Amino acid sequence: MLNIINASKTFQPGTPNQHTALDDLCLQLQNGEFVTVIGTNGAGKSTLFNAICGTFFLDKGAITLDETDITFLPEHKRALKIGRVFQDPMKGTAPDMTVRENLAIAYARTHRKALQTALRKQDIELFRTQLATFGMGLEDRMGTKVGLLSGGQRQAVSLLMCTIATPKLLLLDEHTAALDPAAAEKVMEITRQLVAQKKLTTLMITHNINQALQTGTRTIMMSGGKIILDIGEAERKGLTVPALLEMYAGRGASPLDTDRVLFAE
């Protein structure tokens, strides 16, 4: 489904600030897989997402999505097949527009409709029904500007915007890291609900190792622009955080003690 082959990216090559962010990275995802991604700051996690989304082109390697080569496909065209939710609740939404208007824009883009067409009564009812399943009262706040919502509510709207038309791939870029614990847990509940309901192929970066091991079907760990651990569902069962850290250290990766947030419960 998603196939990344020998992906390499170096920023500022030939200068004192040269940095290899992706180093011959290979990754395959099958339809419906939910893969969590962990690693220290600078491991290449968000760079990997940027490469998949087309924020930049690779120096070397290839990316295919659903058997289509997207290696040099422009970012705006990839966005029709790839949904992404960022850490910042304000990214991906228009804060001065209402919940209904934000959802309408997302729905119109993926359905190739004009905005006016997307605001048909049946489409508004679809938005209302989907929001109601979140249990946050958002179905009664469709006329509220997104910028006036709480962080958790904004992330819930972002999730629906990315999935209102089922994407080929969903990328979650530490989408609960900026939220308080209660809101983060609620957004994760909604995330699991949407992924299961729509059978979404998903990659999720998380700062929380416990969450990474308990969510989805597979966990990969990155360091130095490479995937150094790839742990399947069966192997993850019963795997503790100390055991994972021992495996990580055994691969000669940079120590995690400088990135304390990774140990959050």
Report the CATH number that the domain containing residue 15 is assigned in CATH: 3.40.50.300
Query: Is 217 inside any structural domain?
Result: yes
pTM beyond cutoff 0.75:
yes
Query: Which tokens in the block code for residue 97?
Result: 């527009």
Query: Is 100 inside any structural domain?
Result: no
Query: Is 47 inside any structural domain?
Result: yes
Query: Is 107 inside any structural domain?
Result: no
Query: Is 114 inside any structural domain?
Result: no
Give the residue numbers spanning the domain of 48: 2-91+166-263
Model pLDDT, residue 263: 53
Model pLDDT, residue 117: 47
Chain-centroid distance of CA 252 in Å reads 27
- Say which DSSP state 206 is in: -
Query: Is 101 inside any structural domain?
Result: no
Count of C-beta atoms within a 10 Å radius of residue 31: 11
Model pLDDT, residue 249: 81
Q: Is 23 exposed, middle or buried (0-12, 13-18, 19+ CB in 10 A)?
A: middle
The domain total for the chain is 1
How large is the greatest C-alpha to C-alpha distance in the chain, in angstroms?
58
Model pLDDT, residue 173: 96
Beta strands in the chain (DSSP E): 2-11, 19-29, 34-39, 60-65, 68-69, 82-85, 169-173, 202-205, 218-223, 226-231
Count of C-beta atoms within a 10 Å radius of residue 149: 20
Query: Is 239 inside any structural domain?
Result: yes
Query: Is 98 inside any structural domain?
Result: no
Give pLDDT < 70 ranges for the chain: 110-119, 252-265
How far apart are the C-alpha atoms of 265 and 252, rounded to whole Å? 25
